[in-house]
């Protein structure tokens, strides 16, 4: 690996950790949705060279629901924010099992 490849990998890793640490910290808001909209295309690039089936299927679901561009994803996140907030509140108040009833 070259220094540039290692640098790009570390930058990607930093973005992924920042996105998920903010997105799953609390209910969705403009800030967390903005991070996710910028992060999904990056995660899609990472998934293209990955053999991790969970990552590949997760990114596939996200891009099918929200699109592949940051703008499309941002629009989808904005329209689904209230519904996602409800699910997170249910999960926080009632636990994981409430999402499957």
pTM of the model: 0.59
Distance in angstroms (rounded) separating the CA atoms of residues 101 and 90: 11
- Tell me the percentage of the chain whose pLDDT exceeds 90: 0
Distance in angstroms (rounded) separating the CA atoms of residues 88 and 91: 5
What's the total number of domains in the chain?
A: 1
**Can you give the pLDDT at residue 28?**
82
How far CA 10 is from CA of 24, 75, 87, in Å, comes to 21, 28, 32
Question: Is 23's pLDDT higher than 70?
Answer: no
What is the rounded average pLDDT of the residues 91-98?
A: 66
Residues 64 and 56: beta-carbon distance below 8 Å: no
Question: Is 40's pLDDT higher than 70?
Answer: yes
Residue 1 vs residue 100, higher pLDDT: 1
- Structural domain boundaries enclosing 68: 3-100
Q: How many Å is the maximal CA-CA distance in the chain? A: 50
Distance in angstroms (rounded) separating the CA atoms of residues 56 and 18: 19
């Amino acid at each position: 690996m070259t220094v540039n490849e290692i640098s790009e990998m570390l930058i990607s890793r930093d973005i992924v950790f920042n996105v998920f640490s903010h997105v799953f910290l609390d209910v969705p808001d403009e800030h967390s949705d903005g991070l996710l909209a910028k992060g999904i295309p990056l995660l899609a690039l990472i998934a293209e060279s990955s053999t991790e089936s969970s990552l590949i299927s997760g990114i596939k679901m996200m891009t099918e629901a929200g699109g592949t561009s940051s703008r499309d994803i941002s629009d989808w996140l904005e329209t689904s924010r209230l519904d996602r907030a409800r699910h997170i509140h249910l999960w926080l108040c009632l636990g994981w099992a409430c999402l499957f009833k």
